[in-house]
């Protein structure tokens, strides 16, 4: 990753300071070496104090939002009986408010309500028009194909920040089976992948960003799940399939030598679930098959024997951020909160989301819950730097 000169200076000062400190602690202090080290340490501290300097302006803000059923009013009313037209308008305004206040440049959205791809594109255009009225920015986008009769994923891009290069839907991908005697299953709402050519900002360089937007099966209708786990095994198969697709298609990005890869969306299960572990790569579906070392707990969490977990290939910039994780979750149900929504980056490229080169693991991420009329899911965001 290319660093601007102030960041480079900070890193060099850090290395020099550590060298001086080591020498002084060892009793070697020649020609004012220790006083020079102290001066360097103070200079570095001063630089850290100004870490929000102009060069840390983010190149891009990526967001994800479950829209909680957004479509034409007539179609929304058929699914949410009793919703008034005024409530529908208030919801649209609230969604736009969230995205504008977050300064989203690329937005993965779930729950576009439409029965066909063509109608879905019309709905997305309506929302893009509302975004333009609220922000003054033009948004372009694409809706993904779906196996769900009325619900789709989509991705929006601010035209002043990037252009769409390629779009792929994975709704036709057959899922791996947890048990061989199962019937073949597919994604409910097909994950949508988009390559975007990002325009440079300031001293930044042109980047190709790949966004994968996913929305796994919810717990709705869980009484029909023979496992009694609210469709967790179905979500596990989706997570395994999506991880395999990502590994096959984006090896360079996973290793840090390709463009920037961001995987985000609504997992519909908590951060410690088996689905979450399969998606990030710490576990695999084979770890749960007959005779394997893992089984599912009552909440769908993995219970494994021995040292089964592997190094993750994807890492959450929400649940591992020191500040963001204190917000408790992206979805509230009564007094409980759950991390249903997530933004994940390859473990090798997490530096793109750091607030500072000097603060490894401190990601520039947030949750936006207001206005509440927008959705029962928080908007989640991460700011990227390069």
Helix (H) or strand (E) holding 88: helix 85-101
Q: What percent of the chain has pLDDT over 70?
A: 86
Give the model's pLDDT for residue 3.
40
Check whether the bond before 256 is cis (ω within 30° of 0): no
Sign of CA dihedral 58, 346, 192, 342: negative
Please choose, from the candidates 315, 296, 305, the residue with its C-alpha nearest in 3D space to the C-alpha of residue 231: 296
> For residues 22 and 114, which has the higher predicted lDDT (pLDDT)?
114
- Residues 151 and 113 sit within 8 Å (Cβ to Cβ): yes
Is residue 54 pLDDT above 50, yes or no?
A: no
Is residue 45 pLDDT above 70, yes or no?
A: no
Please choose, from the candidates 90, 144, 103, 137, the residue with its C-alpha nearest in 3D space to the C-alpha of residue 121: 144
- According to DSSP H, which parts of 281-355 are helical? none
For the CA atoms of the chain, what is the radius of gyration?
A: 23
Q: Calculate the average pLDDT of the chain.
A: 88
Q: Which two tokens stand for residue 154?
A: 């989509």
Q: Which two tokens stand for residue 349?
A: 């490229």
Side-chain-side CA neighbours of 98 within 13 Å: the count stands at 29
């Amino acid at each position: 990753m290319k660093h601007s000169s102030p960041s480079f200076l900070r890193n060099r000062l850090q290395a020099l300071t550590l060298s001086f400190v080591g020498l002084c602690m060892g009793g070697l202090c020649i020609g004012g070496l220790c006083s020079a080290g102290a001066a360097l340490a103070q200079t570095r501290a001063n630089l850290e104090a100004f870490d929000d300097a102009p060069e840390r302006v983010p190149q891009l803000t990526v967001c994800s939002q479950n829209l909680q059923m957004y479509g034409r009013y007539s179609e929304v009313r058929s699914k949410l009986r009793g919703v008034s037209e005024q409530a529908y308008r208030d919801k649209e305004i609230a969604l736009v408010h969230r995205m504008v206040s977050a300064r989203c440049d690329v937005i993965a959205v779930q729950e576009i309500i439409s029965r066909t791809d063509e109608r879905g594109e019309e709905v997305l255009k309506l929302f893009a028009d509302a975004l333009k009225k609220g922000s003054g920015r033009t948004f372009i986008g694409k809706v993904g194909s779906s196996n769900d009769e009325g619900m789709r994923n989509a991705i929006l891009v601010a035209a002043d920040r990037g252009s769409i290069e390629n779009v792929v839907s994975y709704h036709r991908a057959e899922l791996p089976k947890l048990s061989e005697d199962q019937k073949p299953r597919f994604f409910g709402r097909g994950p949508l992948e988009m390559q975007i050519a990002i325009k440079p900002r300031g001293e930044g360089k042109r980047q190709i960003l790949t966004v994968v937007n996913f929305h796994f099966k919810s717990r709705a209708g869980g009484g029909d799940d023979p496992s009694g786990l609210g469709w967790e095994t179905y979500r596990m198969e989706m997570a395994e399939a999506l991880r395999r697709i990502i590994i096959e298609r984006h090896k360079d990005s996973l290793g840090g030598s390709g463009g920037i890869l961001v995987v985000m969306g609504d997992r519909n299960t908590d951060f410690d679930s088996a689905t979450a572990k399969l998606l990030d790569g710490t576990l695999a579906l084979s770890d749960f098959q007959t005779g394997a070392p893992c089984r599912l707990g009552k909440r769908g969490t993995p219970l494994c024997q021995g040292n089964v977990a592997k190094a993750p290939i994807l890492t959450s910039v929400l649940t591992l951020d020191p500040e963001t994780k204190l917000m408790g979750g992206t979805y509230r149900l009564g007094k409980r909160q759950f991390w249903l929504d997530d933004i994940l980056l390859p473990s090798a490229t997490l530096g793109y989301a750091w607030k500072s080169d000097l603060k490894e693991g401190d990601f520039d991420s947030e949750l936006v819950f207001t206005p509440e009329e927008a959705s029962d899911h928080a908007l989640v965001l991460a700011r990227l730097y390069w």
